[in-house]
Amino acid sequence: MTVPQLHDDPADFWEGHYTKMSKLSGGRPSAILVRFAEGRAIGRALDLGCARGDDAIWLTKQGWTVTGVDVAESALNAARQAAREAEVAERAQFERHDLGVSIPEGKFDLVTAMFLHSPGKFDRVSALRRAANAVVPGGLLLIGAHGSCPPWSWADPDTVYPTAEDEMAALDLSPSEWRNVFVGPVERVAIGPDGQTATVIDTVIAVERR
């Protein structure tokens, strides 16, 4: 297991991570996204920590217009290429932001942040609060996070992960403004770098703005 070095600038770690990977990704969307976005009224979506664009491209194929955001330009370039190859580039744009600092302008019908984790300095709660502010009334804020890690993860195996309820408390979203669609754990079979599998827990916050 390789333990990542801590970096003050998240781009240092993530650019290194993506430049070591093959250019294109598997193209599979997150199961959490599929479960909670499917069937919703189509509109504008914001994908925070979009990586190489799998979720953003899936959303465009459902009809959404998507802005994907990541701190790693190499991931964004791969996402742009994947969007062109999937012939959805006219509905997918990708912007570089350090989400600890800034977020795209505008309001969105869906704001999704799947596994927006980062080793080193990253004020995740502030980033997710900004994400909540970008949701229109009637829109969905969807946050997926690690609730446990598979044996091959770089994370310390003794890490105690916050529950979805812990994260909700930290976000401090007013119940008068937000309706819980689902807040809790879900199980997932994770596939490791050598094809090995393990059941892991993810935490999900799916809340709709009133």
Interface residues toward ligand SAM, by CB under 6 A: 10, 14, 30, 49, 51, 70-72, 75, 97-100, 114-118, 122
Residue 175 CB, nearest distance to ligand SAM (Å)?
Answer: 27
- CB nearer to ligand SAM: pick between 154 and 165: 154
Number of Cβ atoms within 10 Å of the Cβ of 156: 10
Nearer to ligand SAM, 28 or 210 (CB): 28
**In this structure, what token pair is assigned to residue 170?**
């930290």
What's the closest the beta carbon of residue 24 comes to ligand SAM, in angstroms? 14
Closest residue to ligand SAM in the complex (CB): 49
Minimum gap (Å) between residue 198 Cβ and ligand SAM: 16
Q: How many residues does the chain have?
A: 210
Q: Which long-range contacts (CB under 8 A, 24 or more apart) does 87-91 make?
A: 88/57, 88/60, 88/61, 91/60, 91/64, 91/65, 91/66
Between 116 and 171, CB nearer to ligand SAM? 116
Question: How near is the Cβ of 154 to ligand SAM at its closest, in Å?
Answer: 10
Of 102 and 210, nearer to ligand SAM (C-beta) is: 102
Residue 105 vs 174, nearer CB to ligand SAM: 105
Cβ neighbours for 169, distance < 8 A, ≥ 6 positions apart: none
Least distance (Å) between residue 71 CB and ligand SAM: 3
